């Protein structure tokens, strides 16, 4: 399995978790690393690969021309948009790819429209040990919503910001409520510029790095990530795995047929064209949630914190039973045994 991204990125975390899951299934998985500096020590010790075997490359298709795969090649990839970016189908076919694996049915439809090879769905997983359930606090402190600001507007933080003010009023309102918008230092230039000018004490723009994503969710009573599109949605499920109520969009990779089991989904949204000319990995349409519906979900959690917390605890139990990395590894082994 080829790992093309650092651990701070979804591809890096996704492929690392899949490698470990395959090893727990008794399968030999040798990573081929594109970025050595940010990889964990356990992965750095696995750098001798047999290229004459099957390679499952976990990367965006535009990296494929950088490699010469002498053996058989499958591609584990995704896209967050409603259409394949320009050139992706050619990259996949020209590399001699036999099969493509994607994390959701939405991706399968998008890729299969332009590919002449089979496209399979293997959903990702969640890691119970990495994301332990945290007890609901409910200590009377300001009820805290946490949103994600990485990747520009794709995680829907602008809709959360708007819904927060529409629902809880302007600065000076009496309700004890708070909104934290988290972004990595390189994740959102707009938020970086906004932070010094934000004077509302209820709003915090958090741009520092964290050692582990679980640190973000420990500050939340409710997580609000109404993504405009997702390949699968690891942060959403990881927050739910910790027992938090998660408000999200029932669309793209988040519409997995079980969204109501692990989140408080919003199915009211409007499609719109994606306008990100500098991002080679996303194309087509995405959606924008109805902020009134978003605000109603946020107010319900705020006014019914015990029920919302219980919803989160139930979601954590469901994910532990139905969407773990071991289950994803089992699905990958089944696919390999059938076709490899």
Q: Map out the domains of the chain as residue ranges.
A: 2-125+324-339, 143-322
Architecture of domain 2-125+324-339: 3-Layer(aba) Sandwich (3.40)
pLDDT digits (tens, 9 = 90+) for 244-303: 999 999 999 999 999 999 999 999 999 999 988 778 789 999 999 999 999 999 999 999
Nearest-angstrom CA–CA distance, 102 and 126: 16
Q: Which residues contact 114 (CB under 8 A, 6 or more apart)?
A: 84, 88, 89
CATH number, span 143-322: 3.40.50.2000
Nearest-angstrom CA–CA distance, 123 and 335: 13
Residue 47 — pLDDT band, cuts 50, 70, 90? low
Q: Which residues contact 2 (CB under 8 A, 6 or more apart)?
A: 15, 31, 32, 34, 55, 56, 57, 58, 59, 67
Residue 64 has pLDDT above 60, yes or no: yes
| Average pLDDT of the segment spanning 71-76 | 92
Q: Which residues contact 119 (CB under 8 A, 6 or more apart)?
A: 99, 100, 101, 102, 107, 108, 111, 112
pTM score of the predicted model: 0.91
**pLDDT at site 279:** 80
Residue 71 has pLDDT above 90, yes or no: no
Nearest-angstrom CA–CA distance, 104 and 322: 15
Bridge partners, residue 28, by sequence: none
Nearest-angstrom CA–CA distance, 329 and 17: 9
pLDDT digits (tens, 9 = 90+) for 136-158: 765 568 999 999 998 789 999 99
SS3 287: strand
What is the chain's percent helix, strand, coil content, to nearest 5?
35, 15, 45
Residue 4 has pLDDT above 70, yes or no: no
> Is the CB of residue 241 less than 8 Å from the CB of residue 126?
yes
Look at residues 117, 129, 113, 32 and name the one whose alpha carbon lies nearest to residue 79: 113
Q: What angle do helix axes 10-24 and 325-339 make, rounded to 10 degrees? A: 70
Nearest-angstrom CA–CA distance, 326 and 340: 20
Bridge partners, residue 273, by sequence: 285
Pairing of strands 269-273, 285-289: antiparallel
Q: Do the domains 143-322 and 2-125+324-339 match in fold?
A: yes
**174 phi, psi to nearest 5 deg:** -80, -20
- Which range (28-32, 101-105, 173-177, 246-250) has the least confidence? 28-32
**pLDDT at site 184:** 87
**pLDDT at site 2:** 44
In eight-state DSSP terms, residue 135 is P
**pLDDT at site 268:** 93
Half-sphere exposure of 213 toward its Cβ, with a 13 Å CA cutoff? 23
**pLDDT at site 275:** 82
Share above pLDDT 90 across residues of the chain, in percent, rounded to a whole number: 69
- Which range (15-24, 93-102, 231-240) has the least confidence? 15-24
């Amino acid at each position: 399995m080829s790992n093309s991204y650092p651990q701070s990125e979804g591809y890096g975390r996704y492929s690392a978790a899949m490698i470990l899951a395959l090893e727990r299934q008794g399968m030999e998985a040798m990573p081929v690393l594109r970025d050595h500096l940010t990889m964990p020590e356990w992965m750095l010790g696995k750098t001798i690969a047999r290229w004459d075997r099957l390679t499952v490359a976990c990367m965006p298709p535009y990296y494929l021309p950088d490699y010469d795969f002498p053996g058989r090649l499958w591609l584990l990839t995704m896209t967050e948009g409603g259409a394949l970016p320009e050139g992706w189908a050619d990259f996949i076919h020209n590399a001699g790819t036999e099969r493509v694996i994607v994390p959701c049915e939405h991706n399968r439809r998008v890729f299969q429209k332009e590919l002449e090879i089979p496209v399979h769905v293997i959903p990702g997983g969640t890691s119970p040990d990495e994301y332990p359930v945290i007890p609901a606090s409910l200590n009377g402190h300001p009820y805290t919503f946490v949103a994600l600001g990485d990747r520009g507007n794709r995680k829907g933080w602008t809709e959360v910001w708007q819904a927060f003010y529409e629902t809880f009023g302007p600065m000076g309102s009496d309700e004890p409520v708070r909104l934290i918008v988290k972004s990595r230092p390189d994740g959102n230039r707009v938020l970086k510029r906004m932070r010094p000018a934000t004077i509302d004490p209820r709003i915090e723009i958090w741009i520092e790095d964290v050692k582990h994503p679980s640190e973000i969710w420990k500050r939340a009573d409710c997580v609000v990530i109404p993504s405009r599109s997702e390949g699968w949605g690891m942060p959403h499920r990881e927050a739910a795995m910790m027992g938090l109520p998660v408000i999200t969009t029932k669309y793209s990779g988040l519409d997995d047929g079980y969204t109501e089991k692990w989140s408080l989904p919003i199915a009211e949204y409007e499609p719109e064209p994606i306008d990100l000319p500098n991002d080679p990995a996303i194309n087509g349409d995405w959606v924008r949630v109805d902020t009134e519906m978003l605000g109603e979900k946020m107010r319900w959690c705020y006014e019914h914190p015990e029920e919302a917390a219980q919803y989160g605890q139930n979601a954590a139990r469901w994910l532990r039973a139905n969407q773990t990395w071991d289950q994803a590894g089992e699905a990958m082994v089944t696919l390999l045994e059938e076709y490899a």
